[in-house]
Amino acid sequence: MSLITEEVRAKSEIYHGDELCQEKSKELLREISLPNGLLPLQDMVECGYHRETGFVWMKQKKSYTHKFEKIGKLVSYATEVTATVEPNRIKKLTGVKTKELLVWISLSEIYVDDPPTGKITFKTPSGLSRSFPVSAFEVEEPAKEAKENKEEVKGVNGAVEVKEV
C-alpha cells in the first residue's frame, strides 16, 4: 500500500518529469544539508514534498541499482522511494536497500552528524548502522548553461507556446 494518499497529494508540491524531479531532489538534499548524490534515481516520473510534515516521495519508471564507487557499495532504489526529512536527517525511509556481503538490507534512516565535513550514517530497521565520509556521496554538478532567449506567445486558442527569439 502506498503512503502517498490523496490527502497528502492535495497539500504537497508535486513535480513531473525526470529533469525537473532531478533538479528538485538535489535542491531538497541541499536544503536539508545532505550530500547531493545521495539519491541517484533515474527516469523519475514524479516527486513530491509535503513541507508541513516533511514527507517526500520519488517515483521512477523502474528500480535502479547504483554503485557508490568511492566506498564500493551497491544500493538499490525501488520504483517508489518515500521518507520524512528534516535538517541533516532522512527518517522513515522506504524503497532503499544496500548490499552487505550477499544480502540486501533495507535502510530506514540516514543522517549526518557534523555537516558538511562529518560522517554520514545509514541505519537499518533493526538498529544496525554504518558510517562513511560525506564526500563519498557528493557529486560535482555541471555548471548551468546560459539560458537561451525564449519568448512566450499566446496562440489563437489561448494556448501558450514557447518560442526561441
pLDDT of residue 117: 67
- Domain 6-164 listed as CATH 2.30.240: yes
Cβ distance 93 to 76 under 8 Å? no
Say how far apart CA 24 and CA 16 lie, in whole Å.
10
User: What one-character-per-residue DSSP string does 96-151 give?
Assistant: EEEEETTEEEE--EEEESSTTTSEEEEE-TTS-EEEEEGGGG--PPPPPPPPPPEE
Beta carbons within 10 angstroms of residue 121's beta carbon? 15
Q: How far is residue 137's CA from residue 161's CA, in Å, rounded to a whole number?
A: 39
Q: What is the pTM of this model?
A: 0.81
Tens-binned pLDDT, residue by residue, of the chain (165 aa)? 577 888 888 999 999 999 999 999 999 999 999 999 999 999 999 999 999 999 999 999 999 999 999 999 999 999 999 999 999 999 999 999 999 989 999 999 999 987 666 899 999 999 999 999 999 998 877 665 444 444 544 444 444 444 443
CB atoms within 10 A of CB 19: 9
